[in-house]
Each structure stands twice: as C-alpha cells, then as structure tokens.
Chain A
Amino acid sequence: MRLQYNPNVRIVEMPCTGTIDHRVLLTAFEDGADGVFVAGCLEGDCHFLKGNFRAKKRVNMVKKILDEIGFGSERLEMYNLSAAMGPRFAEITNEMTGRIRELGPSPLNKGKEGDAA
C-alpha cells in the first residue's frame, strides 16, 4: 500500500500478542521507549483463540503498575486490528505518536538528547 507511518515507530514482531508478557513491556520503558503500543488481532479473530485477550489483560495490569509507581499509564496502549488493515495501522501509529509528543519524552529520558522529529 505504501502508506506512510511515523519513522519514530520501531516495530517488534511477535507471532501473537499473547506471547507478550509484562516484563517485555516494562523493559521497553526501562530501556528508553517514550511510548509502547501493542497491536493485536481483532477480538474474536485470534488465530490462537485467546492470545489477544491475554495481551489486553496484561497490558491493563502493566498500566496499573505504571500508574502505581508514578510513571503513568498513558504511554502504554493496546489496539486491535487485522493484518489487512493498513490504513488503520497508519492511523494508530500517528495517534500514538501524537499522544507521546504531547506527553513529551519519557520521565526516564529526561536530560537525554532525543529525536523529536
């Protein structure tokens, strides 16, 4: 389709969002990500049946932890779309990037030079 999405987005491919565990999400932030989003299949369409539900629950749990420790949960989000929905993917990345720009760099990245393009 050759749609554009923001070059600030780094994609990590998993066979199913159900394989993402809490540690991966926390590590992403600890290692400097300003924002993280999990893109799972549409609910009901998971090839492994409930992988995306597991992901949703884990994302919510990590959001809760991030709120409790004072980091804030707005930098983490879960979205659902099918692999065929190119335009939706571009939309999501733009939405998320917009949100993160608004929030500024991660509080763990204060004082670091960043590419805020």
Chain B
Amino acid sequence: MKTNSKLQKRLDAGQFAVTAEIGPPKHASGEGMKHHADMLVNHVDACNITDNQTAIVRISSIAGGVHIMSRGMEPIVQMTCRDRNRLAMQADLLGAYSLGMNNVLCLSGDHQKFGNHPTARNVHDVDSMHLIYLVRRMRDEKLFFSGEEIKRDEPRFFVGAVANPFADPFEYRVDRLEKKVEAGAEFIQTQCIFDMERWERFMEMVVARGIHERTHILAGVTPLKGWRAAKYLQTSVSGMIVPEEMVQRLKAAEDPKREGIEIAIEQINYIKNMKGVNGVHIMAIAWEEVVPEIVERCGLYPRPPLPE
C-alpha cells in the first residue's frame, strides 16, 4: 500500500536512496537541527531523527521531525520500545502523522543503563517486532493495537526496521530480518558496516532467500573521525564489529578525519553495486557536515527527480 512518503516513492521505483541521521540536542532549541537539515536537504532523501539515542535525553524524535520538515527535509521518526508503552506509542504515531510525517523506524532501543538516567523504569511494553506489525496494521487494517477500529484518518506510515548483521547469533540474523519483513517492515536500515566480509555473507543469504525483493535494504555507513572513535565503537558498543585494520589505518593516517571520510566513500562505492542493496544510510552524528561531500563523491548527487 502506498503512503505519502517520498522515500517510499523512490525506493519502490527502484532508485538508490540516500538517508542520513540527525541527533537532536540536549536542550530545548530546534535551531541546530534546522541548521543540519539545511546542510543536508539537497543531498539526502530523508533523515532519521534519533529517539533518546543511547538512552540520553534529547528533544523527541517527533518534535525534531517538525523542525526539519520546516526546512523541507523529509523526516524518518525513530521510535524505540524502551521509553513508551503502547498508549504513548499510538498517541505519538497519531500525532506524528497528523503533523505530516510519513516514515517510522521501529527499534528496541539501547538499555537505559547506558544513558544519563540509569535509574529510570524500563518500559518495553511491546518489542520492535510487535511495533512493526502494529504500525503496519494501523495503516492496512485501520486498527489500534488493541484491535479497535480507527474510524477515520488512520496514520499511514512507511514502516521501517533495523537489521544488525554484526550481532550474534549470526546464523539467526537473516531469519530475524525475514521475521521483521513478514511482520511488515518495508524498509530496513542496517547497523554501520566495517566488517565487509561479514556484510557480504549476510547479503548473500538475504538475496538467496529473496528478502531483498520483499523489502528495501539501506546499508548503514558511518564516517569515523579518527582511531579513537573506531576503537570506541570496536570495544564499547555491543553488537558492533570494527576490524583492527580499520583502527590501524586511521592511526597511521596523517589526516585522520580526511581518512575517515575516504573510507566511508570507499565503502559506499563498493556497497552500492552489491545485489540487494537499495540505498545507503549515512550515520554521521555530530559530523553531519561531511555528509554532502560523501554523497557527492559517491556519485549520488544531485538526487534524481522523484518518480511520478
């Protein structure tokens, strides 16, 4: 079923999509986000706004969506299962749609122990699999999570989910992706890729099962600022794989930031020709300014006109 999502239009037409990520601020002004949106609006098709990422309190994803929409950027609302029960989720979904947002990414969310409010109560009323299914059902069957009918103006989101080929158990990751697709996930953004070999093995299995034809896969890429950033991701983020060669390459570089950008460009140029990959998701949190160069040097700029 079609939505008003421009991202969906692009992906369904078989065009290679480019999405990026904006991290909202730890304060109550939207100016910074608008500035980031201005930076990216001609280079990316849609932008995720993270939802209390790493369990650190920031402006909400939906409010962020309003800010970037005002600058012409299409938002992808991120909704974790950590902070909201099903009532709050639905209220937010109705609200977000009423404000003109058309994309939702459903995810579990980092545990609050990692963030700045580790003593908070943990919600997880529903898991990300449930959320995908239920958001999709709101649109396709016009039902609230409880099964009650939505009598009018049901929210019609383009529903997304996350896949992480670098978490364990590896053999089950493709099964879980398929489960999400069957639950209704229409686009997938993956965790950022550094272990290319593992990524290739994953995509082989995905293509063998035809999953790439039932959903749109956007490969996650993150430019690294230096070897310390790489080391941090390698050792302190559960579910991430950063090969040691990557760390060493950045350590040896004369201009690590430049090297990090070059690496990201190399990765995207390689991945964009892989079978089954329908787009790239560039996660350059706190470094949004390098996204335009990356997009340009990967031959993805200017963004082609949207199909009719």
Touching chains A and B, CB distance < 8 Å:
no
